[in-house]
Each structure stands twice: as structure tokens, then as C-alpha cells.
Structure 1
Amino acid sequence: MFQPTVNQVGGGQEGTAITPTAIRLASLIYIRVAGPITEKARIVDSRAPEFLEYGPIGISTTILNEGSYHITPKGNITLKDMFGRVINSSPLDIKNIFPGTTRIYNNNIGPKLMFGKFTATLNATYGEKGQLLTSTLVIWLFPWKAALAVTLAVIIVILIFKIWYKRITKKETKLTEELKEETAELEALKAKYKDRIPSDNNPDQTPPTA
């Protein structure tokens, strides 16, 4: 790489010269010295929202390396529903943790639409002996806005049905009452003119005069 510099030349004019600039590359080299080492780590923080309306669930896990050599935890976070069924699984990112430092792992797990109680369990191993790191979180998911909309829709449908049924029932009652009145009037007319109607057994019988 070359970097241009401005130099003064004869006659008070400015000129451009090229000065080489060296680039230095550095990389981390892990050196393990002979002798006993300590491999010890623990989860110092594991958090997720206790209640969510929709998924996925964001889980943050912080692991502390308390040993004398760097470690690279490997594992998965498994999400189960209230019946113990596995819904989803998300692996931890492959990251080194140096002695005396922490590393934060962020995972998003689960589909968008979920309902009920869910359990997120981290199972990870580290070190030459595969030591275990584990943690468990409980998260509740309930799409309350959608549930409220459905409930209101059901209530509206029920009210409309009740109003319609009440109107139909009222109309039927009115028709029944009118039919009873007409039937009563017909019975009264029949009783009034009963004596004036010729008998079927004596068709020649003249009706009585008024």
C-alpha cells in the first residue's frame, strides 16, 4: 500500500511523492503450556421474557470461563410445550471464551404462533472431558389481542342471533295469537248460525224464520 504525501519542489510549487506504508497483520495464537490446566465454567445469566404474545422467543445466555484455558462450549437450546413435545431447537454459536471472561449467546427459538406454557432448556458441553452446562427457562405465550378479537366477534354473533331469534319468536307469537282470534271468531259465527244450517239428514227441512 502507498500513501501520497505533499512535498515542496523548486519554484514554490507543490509536488506529490509516494511514500510506502507497511501493513501489519496480527492473529491470535493459542499456546498451551505443559502442565495441569483448570477447565471450569458456569452460566452466570440466562434470561428470556416471562410472557410473550408471539414467538419466536429471544433467549440470552452468558457463560463465564473460570478456568485457566480457553473453552468453546457446544450445545443446543431445546423448546418444549406443556405436553413435553419438542417444538424447536437452536444451536449455540461457536465462540471461544478466554479465562476470566464471559461470552453472551443470543438465540431465537420457536415459531411465531404459540400458545401456553413452554420450557427452554440449554444443554451444552465444554472442555476435554465434556463437562455439562445446563439451564432452564419457563415462558408463557398467549396471543391476547387475537384472542380478544375472536371473543368480541363471537359475542357479536351471539347478540345478533339472539336479536334475530327474539324477533322471529315474537312474530310467531303474534301470528299464533291472530290465528287463535280468527279461530275464536269462526267458532262464534258457527255457533251463531248453527241452527240456520240445514241438517244433512233432512235436506228438505226449511230453516226457521227469524
Structure 2
Amino acid sequence: MAVTRNQSKGDSVTSTPMKSPSPSSSYSGRKSVRSRIDPTTNLTFGSIVTIGIVASIILQVSLAYLVMNDKIKLNGKTTVQSLMTLGNRLEYILRFQAIHVVWLVITTALVVFSRLSTGAVNPLEGFENLVISAKQVHTNSMEQFLLIFVNQLILATNLAPDIFIRVIPLLNILFAISRVLFWLGYPKYRTCGFFSGMTPITLTTIYNAYALINFLF
């Protein structure tokens, strides 16, 4: 059978497999992102993240020192003696949650205001990018609130009353400050606010896990 020219060319064509990005190219891509210059501050994004982390550490250490050494008293009329029972400890925790409920109401209102002011009222019309900043602040606040709240409930079973009376207001005041910083800095300068909220969540989680291990074994 005669083979036509087109058939011959078609038979000789082979598909070229797509190459997946190599680890070196992925690393160079991440490196280029960190080296990108922010036009507002003339700093690299890597430097902005570093400054945010350092500022977060300074904020947390300073506030912890002031509260734990009674330089700032945030326990109101509550005394150590009144925190001997689990019920009183839970009541003490719940009183401070009013801070977070107020903040969540504010972030919800910010989402509503963003929708009304930009015209992105219908989420299905494709204009969600106009309200993404307000939505992300609200969502991140909800996620971290759940984590810090549950950790406080567990701390009620683990901490001595004289420490508990200081730690609970410290966690809640620091969390409130971190949420405001996260909102003001979003999206490029949110590092300080994020770490100021996530660090106490991480530390309390580790402590509660350690207390559970001691309880079990």
C-alpha cells in the first residue's frame, strides 16, 4: 500500500510530554516573590514580613510583661479566690468573649458596607474581588476566634487560679489588638496582626496538649 506524504508526516509526529516545574525553579520563584519591592515602602516583601514578625514579638512580650506582673490589671472585680471552681472560671472566660463578638459584628458590617458601596451585592455576578479584603478579614477572625476560645475553655481545667486570672484577659486583649492590626495591614502588611493572634493560639495549644499527656500518663 502506498503511503502518502501527509500520512508519513503524521506518523512521524510525536507528542512532547509536558514538563513539571523543577524544585529549583519553584524555589527561584518563591525567592523572587520575597525579593519583590513594595512601591509604598520601598522594602522587599521579605523585609516587610520580617519587620511584621519582630513587631509582633515586641507587642506580645511587652503586653505579657505588663499583665503578668500586674502593671496592667484586667481582671476587674474578679479575685483569685473566686476562681476556685470550674463554673466560675468558665464565667470569667465568657465575660471576655464580648470583645470578640463585638469585633465579629464590626467585620460583618464591613462586608455589608463593602458590598453596598461597590455594588457587589449579588455574589453570583462576578464582582467578589471588590469585597475580598473585607471577607478575608472576617473569615480569618472567625477561624482564630474559634481556636482561641476553645483553648481558653481547656485552660480552665489546667491552670492554677493565680495564673488563670492574668492569662485569660491577656489572651483576649492581645487577640483583639491583633485583629485590628490584621485589618489595618491587610493585605500586604498583615504579618504583625496575624502572628500576634496566631502565636498565643499556638502556645496555648501546645500547653493544653502537654497537660493532656500528663493527665493520661
> Normalised by the size of structure 1, how large is the TM-score?
0.17
- For the pair shown, the structure with the greater C-alpha radius of gyration is 1
Greater share of strand residues, 1 or 2? 1
Greater share of helix residues, 1 or 2? 2
